Structure 1
């Protein structure tokens, strides 16, 4: 979009927050870059230029605006609605792969050469993987500077910088303030949503309005696995398995943001934890574009108008979700939770939770592959499905990370015994993040279709749903909302 100058100028002049994260406005006279909704008086159009990423702005010599704080914008929705090379690379960079494995590791995961990855990212985003990772490190550093009392040396290490000098120079270059000045300014602003406990961080996760929290948090709470997840004091809480350690997160819906409180065993995992929580809650979606498309169907329009801004509840761990999808085959939500809780107690790793009732990390595929299949309280055919899945996840023959192509992964899943279209599409929708995944055979969807006057048979409903593409996963959320199932309501 950043190449459509007239459209970008109109968005900046109207301070339209819907475009925050889609592009960034760089002001030639001040050498500052802003989000489109920046509250200051817009510059003259001839003094504006537009970039597709904060990293591109920084690479061109612009610094971040101190008023609108453009690095706190929601992420571009492009990276979660596409499965091409650039989108998959951006999801991996957000997950910290460049910091942990370097650009060669990024390229290897994507199956391309380093040169190909750099060329495509530069062409679409105006910055290569190192510049994009550097911008992300700067943002992580700012969060730690402003929300903790950690020494600056510890912050530099946690944010991924190799040296204190590099940390100081980057912060000054990006924010035009020294790290100590950032901390002083932050101390004068509003206190966090929730008082911090020792070792915890409180921050705000932005999103594009509107956001309807009912199905999003209702689904997570209703399907929560005891020990791993819980709903407590108005927050969804869960344990996180992270590259350097583990964590506990509490996510609370607010009118204009999600309050996030993180407790991490290793602060180097902060960037990854934030990225996975945003993905879990689908916070980078563009609800206006999605809802406008779904409203074109006169039978869906009343559902959208009644409660706009529904998101797709996703996952923080794709392998975990695939296992849970198999446990949920042809059983009730309560039975699926019971099965999962038994596995967690027997094979999960214990963790301490001083604020609630979380006790374990969800078991790894390796731990589940080592268990005795005879101890699984499920039919023999589902036991085969379960053991085949965890064995392939454990030995690496099946991978479900954010870097993988959705179509190829679907084909691999369909080849597994006991994996039909419903299981594959549930994993595609909530595990892989495919915004167009659809569940025409789902009982709840078929009941909703019949109630609304939509075609009831899977083939006919799929044909009708072609007009909803590429947002059929969001249509699923609106159709499910016609039911009185607990997944559609915030717990009280």
Structure 2
């Protein structure tokens, strides 16, 4: 039996649907995500059930529906609408940020060039967490390749044909050798397994945190896991929860962006980048997203 839910959302003027589609177009192999024209099709697990999310942008609206391959134990509708709004960044206070800094000599020109930029958020917080660990200290292209191999290793297919991004419960049953065979380093494999098992056991309640927990609680809980550092946490808070004030000064691309804005010949270090970003609180992570967008066509 297939269970479905749908929601239609009005989009703010100037909504940049292309940014959302580009984020989900990272992998040209299209194992778990496929972008066609103005639509996104994504395989995921909803309460452990293979599901396909479809989002279409047209005439100032986003129309989203999800089809599950089995009857869920809980109602879909309230959580589904919340998930879609979070994914599209509709709760992000980008207008307030732009009003505050449109005339700023540092970030003002980027705001003018990239007006309305929002940060695409993953469907589930665990996807952001596992993606952050996957991407530690490697290029985006290498991280996308690892992510693809992880999805293939999980081998969970929706009836639409798309593979589903694995959830924590599925990865918790992996062995370290399974992840090593998929190309993960020993350190990343151990960190990913530790996180998956703690999420699956309810020790890191990511989905509940998306609704109720404070940033401080999320940060302290994740930092307690070996292999998770400040960059990983701030990236997860941004991509998994839509929190816009993480200081991503440890990100190489952010530091390159700061260097370009400052016109500096020497590389900008973490301390200098942290100090520069501090003036943009509580939108430091949104500034990082502007720097990413200005510096590359690859979606981080």
- TM range, smaller chain: 0.7 to 0.9
Decide whether aligned partners of structure 1 residues 331 and 302 sit closer, same or farther in structure 2, where only a CA change above 3 A counts: same
* Correspondence for 2:296: 484
1:216 aligns with 2:20: yes
Q: Is the 8 A contact 2:52 2:158 kept in 1?
A: no
State whether residues 38 and 58 of structure 2, in contact with CA within 8 Å, keep that contact through their aligned partners in structure 1.
Answer: no
Q: Which runs of 5+ in 2 are unaligned?
A: none
Aligned equivalent of 1:152: none
Partner residue of 2:229?
420
2:164 equivalent in structure 1: 361
TM-superposed CA distance for 1:237, in Å, is 1.5
Specify which structure has the higher proportion of helix: 1
Q: CA deviation at 1:303?
A: 0.8
Residue by residue, what CA displacement relative to the aligned partner does 1:142-182 show, whole Å, maximum 9, x if unpaired?
xxxxxxxxxxxxxxxxxxxxxxxxxxxxxxxxxxxxxxxxx
RMSD over aligned CA atoms reads: 2.7
Q: Is the 8 A contact 1:235 1:251 kept in 2?
A: yes
Task: State the alpha-carbon separation in 1 of the partners of residues 274 and 244 from structure 2.
Answer: 15
**1:231·1:237 contact (CA, 8 Å) conserved in 2?**
yes
Q: Which has the higher contact order (CA 8 A, sep 6+)?
A: 2
Query: Which residue is equivalent to 2:216?
Result: 407
Partner secondary structure for residue 486 of structure 1: coil
Aligned residue runs from structure 1 range 219-368, under 5 A: 219-222=23-26, 226-243=30-47, 245-254=49-58, 256-265=60-69, 266=71, 268-353=75-160, 357-358=161-162, 360-368=163-171
Contact 1:429 1:437 in 2 (8 A): yes
Tell me the residue number matched to 1:458: 270
Shift of 1:281: 1.0
For the residue of structure 1 that corresponds to 2:294, the secondary structure is coil
Alignment of 1:123-272 (within 5 A): 204-222=8-26, 226-243=30-47, 245-254=49-58, 256-265=60-69, 266=71, 268-272=75-79
| Structure 2 residue 250 is matched with structure 1 residue 441 | yes
1:17-65 deviation digits (Å, cap 9, x = unpaired): xxxxxxxxxxxxxxxxxxxxxxxxxxxxxxxxxxxxxxxxxxxxxxxxx
Shift of 1:430: 0.9
Alpha-carbon contact 1:242-1:273 (below 8 Å) kept: no
Paired with 1:264 and 1:275, the residues of 2 have a C-alpha distance of: 17
Map residues 106-117 of structure 1 onto 2, 5 A cutoff. Answer: none
Offset, 1:224: 7.8
Match for 2:187 among 353, 370, 381? 381
Do 2:117 and 2:290's aligned partners in 1 also have CA atoms closer than 8 Å? yes
CA distance in 2, matches of 1:433, 1:286: 10
What secondary structure sits across from 1:459 in the alignment?
helix
Structure 1 residues 389 and 200, CA gap change in structure 2 (3 angstroms): closer
Deviation by residue 1:422-441 (Cα, 9 ceiling, x = unmatched): 11111111113212112112
Q: 2-side partners of 1:261 and 1:387: how far apart?
A: 31
Q: Which residue number in structure 2 is paired with residue 370 of structure 1?
A: 173
When residues 454 and 433 of structure 1 are mapped into structure 2, their CA distance, relative to the original with a 3 A threshold, is farther
Q: Secondary structure at the match of 1:250?
A: strand
CA deviation profile, 1:75-126 (whole Å, cap 9, x unmatched): xxxxxxxxxxxxxxxxxxxxxxxxxxxxxxxxxxxxxxxxxxxxxxxxxxxx
Q: Give the CA deviation at 1:259.
A: 3.4
Contact 2:140–2:298 (Cα < 8 Å) also in 1: no
For the residues of structure 2 that align with 1:476 and 1:450, how far apart are their CA atoms? 13
- Contact 1:448/1:479 (CA < 8 Å) preserved in 2? yes
278, 286, 294: which one pairs with 1:474?
286
Q: TM-score, normalised by structure 2?
A: 0.84
Whole-Å Cα distance in 2 between the matches of residues 453 and 304 of structure 1? 16
Contact in 1 for aligned 2:48/2:167 (Cα 8 Å): no
Shift of 1:226: 3.9
1:370, 1:241 → 2: CA distance? 15
